[in-house]
Chain A
């Protein structure tokens, strides 16, 4: 009787240990969120999101940024103002109306870079990505900063 009890206790303990280390292992190696496969939280034009930030950045940050960095996923439609690339060879497309003070800077990834291949300046496109920071005038830079989106790809209707 006593032996059986011990046996049960040991098995429970072992199972618990396996469970806990399994969860810990999963958390430690948890993959990054796949932005393109995740649901889009908001869809709008580049000027809409820019103007929302210029009107009140605090309210906009509260709405779009998340505490642990998994911020809102946006699909932004706008006119291509410029096409470039960053120091990591990722394509960067700025969606901005010529009449606007700031735009939405969209950084692609190694995997999505090729989606920008046929894009041209002046063309209207919809780009999906995760927001990293908002637009606003910075007195030290003495210029307007764009909304920043990363992990971007072109949305094909």
Chain B
């Protein structure tokens, strides 16, 4: 092996290792999403502990994949209604998805413990409708743990969920409060 090839190999190895992209995408397989609907007649809460989420600290990309049949209600009948064809039609659309980005990524230092206020902007897809969503969120870094908390209001009619008659039209709010909490573990 001559000197030149040694140098070439050395440079190649150095460049490949030095500029290898940081593959530290954060994954949470058991994120929690709940929603709350308030009307004068009834308060309704549903919880889902099976949300899959990724957060890429280098690009700020945030994704949530929500298995719709995992929403649990206190009352079995409400859960049936929620899943049915008339409302969320979860057999045909088993997952809802949010894809977005932290728009002020500079505000977060993933290597330093602390609480950072961020803005997440993206698209929420439920059934066949996709609508933009722009929300405040909190990123908390504690050692190897990163937590993303957010609260938002979702207008049901935006996603083709409308109640025109019967109990749901009077007992379900037109706008529901959605709470999101994902706990990611650094590799």
Contacts and interface: CB of A to CB of B under 8 A. Distances in A.
A133 B67 contact: yes
Interface of A: prevailing SS: loop
Contact of A141 (B47, B50, B54, B84): B54
Contacts of B112: none
A5 interface: no
B79 A32 contact: yes
Contacts of A148: 50, 67, 70
B27 interface: yes
A134 B68 CA distance: 11
Given A32-B76, A140-B99, A150 B94 contact: no
Contacts of A88: 32, 47, 49
Nearest to A69: B83
Interface string A40-80: 00000000000000000000011001111111000000000
Report which residue of B31, B63, B70, B94 has the largest number of chain A beta carbons within 10 angstroms of its beta carbon: B94
Interface residues of B, number: 36
Interface string B80-119: 1111110001110011010100000000000000000000
A92 B82 CA distance: 25
Interface in B48-79: 49-50, 52, 54, 63, 65, 67-70, 75-77, 79
A132 interface: yes
B146 interface: no
A80 B79 CA distance: 31
A86 interface: yes
- Of B79, B84, B91, chain A has the most CB atoms within 10 Å of the CB of B91
Interface centre among A32, A71, A92, A134 (most CB of B within 10 A): A32
A85 B28 CA distance: 12
B52 A145 contact: yes
A156 interface: no
A8 B70 CA distance: 49
B57 to A, nearest CB: 14
Nearest to B181: A87
A63 to B, nearest CB: 11
A141 B63 contact: yes
14 contacts: A61-B91, A68-B84, A69-B69, A69-B83, A69-B84, A87-B32, A87-B181, A88-B32, A90-B49, A133-B67, A140-B97, A140-B99, A141-B52, A148-B50
